[in-house]
Every structure is written in structure tokens, then in C-alpha cells.
Structure 1
Amino acid sequence: MTILILILGFLFGAALQYASLNRYNVISGMATLENLTVAKAIAMAIGVGVILINLEIGLGLAAYHVKPFLLGGIVLGGLIFGTGMAILGYCPGTLAISLGEGSLDALTGIIGGLLGGLVYTLMVPSIEPILGPNMGSISLFSLAGHQPVLFYVLLFTVGAAFIGAAFGVHKLEKTTDKRWIVAGIALAVLNAIVFSGMTFNRPIGASTTYPYLADLLTRSTANAYFEKIQGSGSWELIFLAGAVLSGLVLSLLRKDFKLTLIHENWKKHKGTSAPKRIIWAFAGGFVMIFGARMAGGCTSGHVVSGGMQLAVSSLVFAVFVFAGLLVTGKLFYKMKR
């Protein structure tokens, strides 16, 4: 099964690379509303995935994996995650892909993320009170009262609304590039494969890798949090290894592999100082992973995978992630050099 996880990670990386969704310029462009590719692809992935995954579950081929609605963790974690993501210009999964392509700021962000994961492991017993209250695992399925007709009417309506929103944003953006459609559909299909009871019976995720690997490297494994995450962490570590490999192999095939620290969008807003970029990438990675662990997931594991299940925790998390992303983008990237 390890080979299959690597292959799926490779395909995950390939899908994101196809629409440049892993690139610093694209994600930081979302933070400044100069590039809406990320928003369109996520909306498309959720819209298609809502239908695919819920039909899969309805046929008994998969099961729900709805994350609990920990109010404090979702709200505060979402804001913190969005802040780190804006500054860093990557999310936990795209860091791995861009590392494979030669992005040195992604490597710096990974190091910061590992430290953030380790610090969260050490702090979680003391901050648990602010993560609650736990409002349960709420989704459209549970809210519909297990009434099949009502559920599927709402399901297809919401799925169509997400897809319509993706095309609406595309129309506003006035660009001809439609690779985000393919990437969004590919993410939905990949999630359906991973959700299947015949494969892994779990959602795609990435952020658990960071505390898992950091705890292993520092031998900080004798704690309840590591015991809780080690199953998901080991799976996601292999998955992201496939994503790194995808970034490396495909960039070599495209002949655009290049060791890069200062990307164009950073240069445009923040200048060309290498130490400045290293410090902010490290800080962004730290903050982003700490926020992800507070909320119990990230862009792939919460926003996309959870959004496809129409989980209330994941949809609320997405709102606060984008709030943190956009506010930080406005304040951080609009400052004078």
C-alpha cells in the first residue's frame, strides 16, 4: 500500500502543478486578490467532490470522516492558518510540491512548520481549554435528519452552487486559462479514491505530517498527542513524499527546475533581500502549521476534503482561513518596502 500512497501523492502534486496551484506567486496572489486561481479550483473541487463522495458513501463504498466542530480551534486556528499561509505563500501540501521544484523558501517554510508542529505537540495540553467547546461532528447529512430525499436535493443544489461560484469568479477575473477546472476535478476524483473503503477509507490531508515528523526527529513521541496523530501522520508523510517526487520529476521533464528563493510576487511587494524572505518564510511556516493543528486540519484535509463532506467545521474553517489570508495579504503585502 505504500507504493499506492506514493502514486496518489504524485498525482496530487501533478494536479496542482498543472494549474500552478502550488506556486508562491499564485497563492500569495490570492492573498492580495491579484490571482483567484486557488479560490476557483477549491470551489470546483468541492462542488464536484460533494456529489462524488456523498454518492460513494450513499452506495456503501465509503464512510464520512467529519472533523468535530471545536469552536475555538476552528475560529482561532483558521485565522492563524490564513495569516501564515499569506505570509508564506504556500499551504502544507504545496510546500512539498514546490520543494521538489527547487523553491528554497518552501524548504524554509517546511523547517518553520516542523518547529510549529513540535511546539504545538508540547503546548497542546495547556491550550486545550481554548480549543473548545466541542459542538460535535456536524454535516449536511446530520442536519438533514437522515432524510434521503431532502439530503440529495440539498446535496446536488449545494454542489451545483459551488461549481457555479467557480465559474462566476472566473468570469469576473476575465482570464482565458481554464486549467483550474481540470485541477479541481482531479482533486475531487483523488479524494473519492482515497475515501473508498477499497483503498484507505480516509480523507486526503497534509498538515499532520509536520508534528508527526518533528516529534520523530526530536524523539518527542511519549505523549498523548503523538499517539493520536501517528496513524495519519505516517500516511501523510508518504503521501507528501510522493508530492515532492512529483514536483522534482515533472519540473525536470518541463526543464524548469530551478533553485529559487525570491519569487516575482515577493520581489514586487517586499524586495530582493534573501535574509528577509528566509525569516518571513520560516515564520509563516511556523504560524501556519500551528494554526492547522489547532483546527485539526489544513487546506487539503479540512477545506477541500471536509468541504466535500459539507462538514460545518470545515466550511466555517474555510471562512476564517480566507479572512486571515485576505486581511494579512492587505496589511503585509501592501506595506512599503
Structure 2
Amino acid sequence: MIEVTSPIWIGIIIGAVIGGLAEAWGISNPEVLLRLGKWQDRLFVGCIAIAIGTGALALYGLAAAGVAFHWGIKPDYIVGVGLGGIIFGIGIAISGYVPGTVWMALGEGRRDAIYAVLGGLLGAASWTLIYQTSFGHWLVTYLNFGQIYFGGQADTNLGIGFMLAIIWAVIMFGIAYTLPRYKKGKSCAYVSTHKDYKLTPEEQNQYIETTNTLREGSSMPLGKDNLPEKVNYHWTVSSKLFGVVMLSVGIIIGLMVVLGMFFHQIFGESTTYSWIVAELWLPATYWKYSSTVVNTVGWEPFSDIGTLFGAFLASVFLTRRFQSFNNVIPPSWRERFGNSQIKRSVGVFFGAYLMLLGARMADGCASGHILSGDLQMAVSSVEFFVFVMISLLLTAFLIYKRHGNKLLGTDGGLMSMEQRRKIEPKIKNEKGLKIFVVSAAIILVLTAALASGSYNGYNPNANAVAITGFVAIVIIVMTAAWLKTKYNNYSFEGNEENGS
């Protein structure tokens, strides 16, 4: 039996890889999940399906071969998980965020992510209060079938689990291969079997519009004929999820989750919110849920910092989407509610509140349930995902059914790559910034390692987490200040009339 339990600061590295790749996908942008709710862009479903299929094969194949893992299958208490999924889906439809993408968005320098963090903390605190009541106790005990997956109890019947994982992977890859990414678009299966297929004008507009949406508010000029331009105009907007780049990203994320389970635990993001609540407001000495959290939380606070910082690194070096906290409101939201920053702040706060309340009620979120849980073929996670999608689609339909379907910048005309090249500022000498960011990344990891040492148990030292998180935030704020000064408060807008 091969078994490892790593120091908890290693979570920063796992989180950074996943956060960076997800930022490149564009999932840190709330508009991506809002469009998923409107069923206009299914990127999230396709990419997660690839990660789940890959991870399930690797996890159960290695487990059957004798490799030990730190399993994290969530208990299936049917009513609580289902209700939590419904509330979680409503929160996504309003905010455009899940717990992990909030940290990614903060790393990307998105202003509304600040309000999402605050709303999320209040949502987590609300569940801690509810858990103390008889109703909360009933939610997590009624029809509770324990930690079960398709093959039985967690960490049992691993040979059968591997056979089931093969079937599960075929289903997941089939979804990604046959589900068209864009509304009225073509699937990977169609494009692959029609070698002479060319994009329609509508599809070309979808590509350009998606690029502009992902880059809206960026404080960094993109430049031309470089890696960031390829990432933004070709790889992340493509409907070919089985293209080399998109497929590779999904595979790597799935394998990183498995690697995390080998080292210490599953990849999860929402527990950190409850842990912060326990440390700051509702102590474990009295509150039952806080006691549960502090005795079971592992490297989540560090992996969340890693998620934040990985997205930051990707937004500076790979995609150049770092926003320096510019005033940006997602197109779907502003088409429905207007361009008011106050409305967006209130909306994202309330949406994040519901999202975290639902996540903690169900004992997991998009990371712990939908990614890590479905990768483990957990029954509770499949139930959670079904309720989340139904709730998300219905809520988004009710909120945005008559709004938010116009392309970004329709009134001014979509800005093509060539038009953007003509009007955006030239990239200035950023050598100092790059040296600072790379040095800061090394300092961040060293800070976490020195502050937490070789500790590999549960309930990380709050001071170690606080110091590491503070260093990460200072680095991000300093970068924002540098870019605002360097590029004279530049903010990209994706239409012809307001492009500079």
C-alpha cells in the first residue's frame, strides 16, 4: 500500500494550478456562469465533465492497484443535500459565482468579488446558526445514507469501482464531445466529423464577443502575435472542447484533484468560509458546526489562497485579464438591472450569501461536490449537481428571460481583434512587474511553508493562514496600483465606441 500525507501548505500549490487553469478557461468571470444559467455557453459543463472523467479513471485505477487516497465522499442526506443544491443554484444565478471562483475573481482583481466574499461569509455563518437548531439537525440526519458511491461505501469494492469509473468516464467524455458549447453552435462531434466545416458569421461573432466579455475591464493591453492573444482569441473561446489545449486543461485539473487526494485530501473551497467564521465570530467552544469544521478542515484555507494566487498569476502572465479592481458589471446583469455599481454590489452580496448557505447546508460546493465528489462517483454529489442545475436554469430563466441576450457592445458594434490592436495602448516595459510577481510568488510559498511547517493534520494555524493570505492580497493590490499608474487607468471595453 502506497500512502502519503503531506504538509498542509502544499495545498497552495494544488490550488494555484487549478486556479490558474480555471482562470484561463474564463470561469473566474461571473458572466460565464450567468450564461450557463441562460444555457448560452456550456463551457463549465464540458470542461468539468472532462476533468471528472479523467480523474475518475485515474483515481479508481490507482486505488484498485493499491495506492491509498484520502477519500472525501460527502454523506448523502437526501433532503439537506437537495435543498442546499437548490439554494446554491439560485445564488449562482444571481451572483455568477461559486465559492472557488470568488477567490479566483479576487485574484483577477475583480471589484465585485470583494462583496461576494463578504456575502459568502455571512451565508456560511447563517448555516452555522441553523445547524444549531433542531431543523438544522433534521436536515443532516433525515434520510442520511452515509458516504456512498456507485460501488458501495467509500473506499470499498475498488475493483468494481474501477469498472464503474470506465463507464462513468465514457459518459462524461460523451457529454463534453456531443454537447455544443454555444447556443445554436456545433458540437465537437459535429466539427470533428465534418472536416470542411467553417464557422458561420453568428459563430464568429460569438467567438469575438466571448473574447471581449472575458477581457472587459482588463487593465493590461493584450498586445499582438503573442501567447495571451492566442489564449483569448482562439483557445478559450473555441467550441472544440476536445481541441488539444482545452482537453489538456480539463485532464490536468482532473489529475490535480487526484494528486491532492493522494497527498492530503480532496479539492474543496467552501469549508474555508465556515472556518473563518469559526475563527472570527462563532467559536467552536459553543457552536456545534464550528466545532465540526475546525476538527475536519485540512488544507482548504491554503488551497483557497492558492486558487486566488494561481488565478492572479494566470491573469498577469497568461491571459492579461487582470482588472486592477476596475468598475466592471457582467453584461447579462447590466442588461437586466442597469449599470449601477450599487445594485451589482447588493446583488452579488445576496447571491453569494445564498450560494454559501446552500453549499454549507449540502456539505460541499462546485469544488467539493461537483468536481471532487462527482470524480469520486459520490451519490450525494450527483444529487447535488442535478438540483443545482435545475435551480440555476429555472432561476436564470425567471431573472434574465427577456434580458441579457444581446451581445456585448451590440450598440457600438463588436470589436474585432484587428480593431482592438489599433486602439489599445502599446505594452510598455513590464520587466519590473514580472520580476516582482515571480519573486512574490516564491515569497508566498515560503511564507506558507515557514508559517505552518511540517504540520499535516487538521485545523491549520490561523496565524499562518492569515499571514499567507495577507501577503497574497498585498501583492495583488500592489500590482493593481502599478498597472493603473503604468497604463493611466486603462480599462478594456469590448465595443467600437468605447474601446479605449
TM-score, L = length of structure 2: 0.63
Report the counterpart of residue 57 of structure 1 in structure 2. 63
How far is the alpha carbon of 1:147 from its aligned partner?
Answer: 6.1
Are the counterparts in 1 of residues 267 and 372 from structure 2 also a CA contact under 8 Å?
yes
- Which residue of 87, 111, 122 corresponds with 2:129? 122
Change (3 A) 1:266 1:232: farther
| Deviation, structure 1 residue 108 | 0.6
Once residues 331 and 161 of structure 2 are traced to their aligned partners in structure 1, the CA distance between those partners, rounded to angstroms, is: 46
Q: Which amino acid aligns with 1:113?
A: G
Do structure 1's residue 276 and structure 2's residue 343 form an aligned pair?
Answer: yes
One-letter amino acid matched to 2:313: V
Deviations 1:30-62 (A, max 9, x none): 011111000101111111111011112212323
Corresponding residue SS for 1:28: helix
Deviation, structure 1 residue 336: 5.5
**Distance in structure 2 (CA, Å) of the matches to 1:244 and 1:130:** 32
Which residue is equivalent to 2:420? none
1:167 corresponds to 2:177: yes
- Partner of residue 324 from structure 1, selected from 391, 394, 400: 391
2:300 — aligned with what? 236
SS at match of 1:301: helix
Letter in 1 for 2:401: K
Following superposition, the deviation at residue 286 of structure 1 comes to 0.6
In structure 2, relative to structure 1, the CA distance for the partners of 1:148 and 1:300 (3 Å cut) is closer
What do the CA deviations read for 1:99-129 (whole angstroms, capped 9, x no partner)?
1111111111110000111121122121221
**2:75 corresponds to which letter in structure 1?**
P
TM-superposition CA deviations, 1:61-104 (whole Å, max 9, x none):
23333211101111100111111011110110010011111111
Mapping for residues 1-337 of structure 1, pairs under 5 Å? 1-63=7-69, 64-126=71-133, 127-131=136-140, 132-142=142-152, 151-170=161-180, 173-174=185-186, 175-178=238-241, 179-196=245-262, 199-200=263-264, 202-222=265-285, 223-233=287-297, 235-253=299-317, 254-258=319-323, 259=325, 260-334=327-401
Greater RCO (CA < 8 Å, at least 6 residues apart): 1
Distance 1:281 1:154, change over 3 A: same
Structure 1 residue runs of 5 or longer lacking an equivalent are none
Shift of the 277–93 alpha-carbon distance from structure 1 to 2, 3 Å rule, reads: same
Q: Distance in 2 between matches of 1:114 and 1:233?
A: 16
Question: Which deviates the most, 14-23 or 219-228?
Answer: 219-228
Q: Deviations over 1:268-307 (max 9, x none)?
A: 3332111111111000111000100111100110111111
In the alignment, is the contact (CA less than 8 A) between 2:91 and 2:351 conserved in 1?
yes
| Structure 2 unmatched runs, 5+ | 1-6, 187-237, 405-500
Distance 1:336 1:255 in 2: 29
CA distance in 1, matches of 2:166, 2:348: 40
For residues 124 and 227 of structure 1, the distance between their equivalents in structure 2, rounded to whole angstroms, comes to 11
Letter in structure 2 aligned against 1:40: G
Bigger Rg, structure 1 or 2: 2
Q: Which moved more, 1:267-276 or 1:277-286?
A: 267-276
Equivalent residues of 1:269, 1:334 under 8 A apart: no
Stretch moving more, 327-336 or 253-262? 253-262
- Distance between the aligned counterparts of 1:331 and 1:321, measured in 2? 15
User: Partner amino acid for 2:273?
Assistant: Y
The CA distance in 2 between the partners of 1:150 and 1:255, in whole Å, is 45
Q: Residue 209 of structure 1 contacts residue 234 of structure 1 at CA under 8 Å; is this kept in 2?
A: no
Question: Hey, which of these two has a bigger chunk of helix by percent?
Answer: 1
Give the partner amino acid of 1:46.
I
Moved more, 220-229 or 116-125: 220-229
Shift in Å at residue 206 of structure 1? Answer: 0.5
**Residues 214-255 of structure 1, C-alpha deviation per residue, up to 9 Å, x if partnerless?**
221225332221121125545211111111112223323344
Q: Measure how far apart 1:264 and its partner are.
A: 2.5
Whether the 8 Å contact between 1:67 and 1:313 is mirrored in structure 2 is yes
Whole-angstrom CA distance in 2 between matches of 1:111 and 1:8: 25
CA contact (8 A) 1:262 1:274 kept: yes
In the alignment, the residues of structure 2 paired with residue 147 and residue 288 of structure 1 have an alpha-carbon distance, to the nearest angstrom, of 34
Q: What is the Cα deviation at residue 181 of structure 1?
A: 2.3
Q: Which moved more, 1:169-178 or 1:250-259?
A: 169-178
For these two proteins, the number of residue pairs brought into alignment is: 334
Q: Is the 8 A contact 1:80 1:287 kept in 2?
A: yes
**Contact 1:66–1:138 (Cα < 8 Å) also in 2:** yes
